[in-house]
Structures are given as structure tokens and as C-alpha cells.
Amino acid sequence: MARQFDHLVHCVHDLETAHQRFRSLGFTVRPPAVLPFGVRNRVVLLENAFIELLTIDNPTAIPPATPDNFSFGAHNQAFLAADEGLSMLAFRSTDARADARAFAVRGLGSYASFDFSRDALLADGRKARAAFSLAFAMDAALPQLAFFTCQHHLPRRELFLQPDYLRHANGAKRVVELILPVPDPAAHREFFERLTESEARAVSGGLSFGPLGDRLTLLRQDGLAEPRFAAYRIDAADLAAADAPITDVLFPPSDSEGQL
């Protein structure tokens, strides 16, 4: 079964500026949270996935990367040293340790799985200890980007599908597509078929992976020295509710299947 999106990591220099910007686009944004490896985030919840606005909070708490251990904090710190934007894509998982073993066998990365937890506020006001396990994958041809699976040990619905935070002024519902321009989509086909556990589909100008509504699309763009995610497309009901242009968050359909 093809992997489904869990969340997108959107790196920013100033978390509160990003918060205000997303609010102006008509999104509801959760309060900030500090994670135990040097980063801080705010989250935009959608029905199928979430957008993690993330910044560096405490550089001294970031563990160094090693050949066997991927450092989430170090990767995003290096990304922010060059730019802001989408640095990572996470897929849902029910067993991150099994994913890490599978990634190693498939040549996607031989990193140990990573566990962490933090306090979380639930919709009814209760506090809970939210725990997660991650398994990381890398494409050597895309060194600026990283991919991982995310296993939620507290039921995902209880922590993330909270009605107040799922209501957005712009009517946003789902992340339906993530766009990655590359010089040659075919050169990355094998990596992404193994990562997404799906067969590539030809689309206008590139290849698409994953199920309709949770798809990753590689589009051909010549002359890219360091390919990076360009945009994500969101199914939203009322773009007129946004106070600022939303074109840098939404992306038009990439093939004949049309707007979801």
C-alpha cells in the first residue's frame, strides 16, 4: 500500500512572523511547542496531514549527525543557513523501527530509528505525553532534503484531529500534492518508488508518486544546482478569505486529473 503524508516540515527563521503570515492566509495555527532536540514549532492541522512551521530554538541542544544517526535538528539548521522553505517530508507509519530496517535494505539510508516525546495539550484541556518514533531516508542526489516516517504513539486522532484547529478561514482541508522540481525526474524514479511504496505515474513534465490526494510530483526543471521542494497544493474552499496572496502555498494541478 502506498505511503500517505503525515506532515511537511516548513523551516523558517522567525516562527512568529511565519505564524502571522499563515494567519493572514486564512489558516488556524496551533500554539508553539518546544521539541527536545533544539527546535521549536507551530503546527497547521489539516484533515490528512499537517504543516510543521519549524525554527531553531536552542542550537546547543542539537545532537550532531553521525553515519548511523540522522540529526533532525542539524539537518534543519543547515537548511536554514542557506534558505527558508520546505526541508523535509514525513509519511505516516505504524512501525518506525520496521521502516528503518526496510530503508536500509532498500538502500535509502541506514539510520537508526529515533524516539522522542513532549507534553501536549489535548482538545479537552488535558495534558498528555505525546511520543513519536521516526525513521529517516535520504537520496544522495538531493542532499538538501530529507524524508522520514512518523509513528504516533499517542493516538493521532486524539492529538492532531482537534476540531477547533481543523477549522480554517480559507476552508483548507487537505494537502493534496507536494511539488519537487528536478533536472531529470527519471533519475530519481527508483528512490521515490521505494520510498513511497508506489509505482511512478507519468504526468505532464514529470513523474508522480503515491495515491491521488497524497501525491509527490517531480517536475522537470533544467539548470537546478540544488533541487528543493517548490510548493504544496492544498484543497481549500474559500481563497477569498485570505488577506494575502496564497500562490506560494497553493500549486495548480500538474496533470489532467484536475483540482481536487
Q: Which three cell numbers stand for residue 82?
A: 542557506
254 part of a folded domain: no
Q: What is the CATH number of the domain that holds 219?
A: 3.10.180.10
Whether residues 87 and 175 share a domain: the answer is no
Give residue-wise pLDDT tens across range 60-71.
999 999 999 999
Whether residues 175 and 68 share a domain: the answer is no
Whether residues 188 and 157 share a domain: the answer is no
- Domain carrying residue 11: 5-165
Whether residues 97 and 157 share a domain: the answer is yes
212 part of a folded domain: yes
Residue with cell 530529507: 146
Contact 144, 82 (CB under 8 A): yes
Predicted pLDDT at 155: 62
Q: Pick from 165, 188, 218: which residue ends a domain?
A: 165
Predicted pLDDT at 243: 56
Whether residues 122 and 173 share a domain: the answer is no
Give residue-wise pLDDT tens across range 26-58.
999 998 989 989 999 999 999 999 999 999 999
Selection from 60, 76, 58 nearest residue 10 by Cα: 76
Rounded mean pLDDT of 209-227? 92
The pTM score is 0.89
Whether residues 26 and 130 share a domain: the answer is yes
Under 8 Å CB-to-CB from 46, ≥6 apart: which residues? 166, 172, 173, 174, 175, 234
SS3 string, 72-139, reads HHHHHHHHHHHCCEEEEEEEEECCHHHHHHHHHHCCCCCCCCEEEEEEEECCCCCEEEEEEEEEEECC
